[in-house]
Amino acid sequence: MNYFSSDFKLGILGGGQLGKMLLFDTRKFDIQTYVLDPSNEAPSKIACNKFFQGDLMDYETVYNFGKQVDVLTFEIELVNLEALTQLENEGLKVYPSPKTLKGIQNKGVQKDFYAKNNIPTAPFERFENLEQLKSKISDLKLPFVWKCTEFGYDGNGVKIVRQASDLDTLPNVECIAETMVPFKNELAVIVVRNPSGEMKTYPVVEMEFHPEANQVEYVICPARIHDKVAEKARAIALQVSENFNHVGLLAVEMFQTQDDEILVNEVAPRPHNSGHYSIEASYTSQFENHLRAILDLPLGNTDSKVAGIMVNLVGAEGHSGNVIYENIETILGWDGVTPHIYGKKQTRPFRKMGHVTIVNEDMAEARRIAQEVKETIKVISGQ
């Protein structure tokens, strides 16, 4: 198949920042792209060959979009599965496959999958709705982690329940109650796999979280952990990938327990926040490798050239409206600092608006600069 400067068309469901960063690499290779997104102001709109506005959960919209392309991928999991399945049945290459997505879209199904495949994960119970959970609360050990099984993202749909009354503010939806794991570190490993079965893992990264927003503040690569723990994490990530039989990128989020066990928390079958550092720090970025994988091209080198730390740029508290980025000029004057602005015109508290990557030979120095970036740059709204 000739993908380059040809009639070949790659379709992408979702036109957010992940799509926009993926399109950097399709443009580098001159691969034609069609993008479907509900918003007419989607970040990807400026970078694709053809943009379509439409509902990703609507069967007809997704099906008709898929009929116009040669390979279909997505940058968000909330897409119409029936349409993807039908397109695949009619011979369209859909990567990752609807079958893989089906096992991941619902967190309850995902957790059952780990249990069935002997993949280490925190103990959990599934409930049809909040009422059922409330009726069984006396059987559960407090505190526990409540998760809605669908439509949760970025800290939405996850809550720590410390007392029964905490349930009163939660929606009456299908959910899981998960044992709270006292962990040392939150880690992630990105696995890339093509249809021919070639597989690679990126180095283990460590995630530092914002205490209130339940959102990643820093992603640190390589993780500051023992080599043996890193080897174990990469091996488990490969096992998860093989069991899901996925094609493309799979981000595997994990906990490192106090006694250095690795537990899988959840996965995302697409480019992921924990891999953004790779644009500046790796030989091959996660986006280029996702592209190589879904087109069944040889996978690129996943090693890092240099230590990298990513800082998420999120909307400041108390600010909603037209976005203004303060002090970007300042950080552009610092060595090894690269801001990425996603192109969302409207900010709101904790909304992901961009990220900054810091690369340095010295990890401690990179972390110090990352802290300074975080304190210097402000994402606010204009009047």
Binding site per annotation, positions: 107, 147, 178-181, 186, 265-266
Distance (Å, whole) CA 267 – CA 197: 19
AA identity, residue 283? Y
Chain centroid to CA 171: 24
Annotated binding site for ATP: 107, 147, 178-181, 186, 265-266
Q: What is the DSSP string of 280-305?
A: HHBSS-HHHHHHHHHTTPPPPP--BS
Cis peptide, bond prior to residue 222, ω within 30 of zero: yes
Residue 87 has phi, psi (to 5 degrees) of: -60, -40
The distance between the two most distant Cα atoms of the chain, rounded to a whole number of Å, is: 63
CB atoms within 10 A of CB 227: 9
Distance (Å, whole) CA 328 – CA 377: 6
Q: Which among 342, 336, 269 is positioned nearest to 312, based on CA atoms?
A: 342
Distance (Å, whole) CA 159 – CA 124: 14
Q: Are 353 and 287 in contact (CB under 8 A)?
A: no
Distance (Å, whole) CA 274 – CA 209: 12
Cis peptide, bond prior to residue 96, ω within 30 of zero: yes
Segment holding 148, helix H or strand E: strand 144-148
Coil, strand or helix at 74: strand
Distance (Å, whole) CA 21 – CA 43: 9
Q: How many CA atoms lie less than 13 Å away from 17 in the CB half-sphere?
A: 17
Buried b (16+ CB within 10 A) or exposed e, 87-104: bbeeebbbbbbbebbebb
Q: Which among 324, 247, 250 is positioned nearest to 88, based on CA atoms?
A: 247
Q: Are 22 and 290 in contact (CB under 8 A)?
A: yes
Q: Which residues are within 8 A (CB) of 112 and not within 5 positions of it... i.e. 6 or more apart?
A: 126
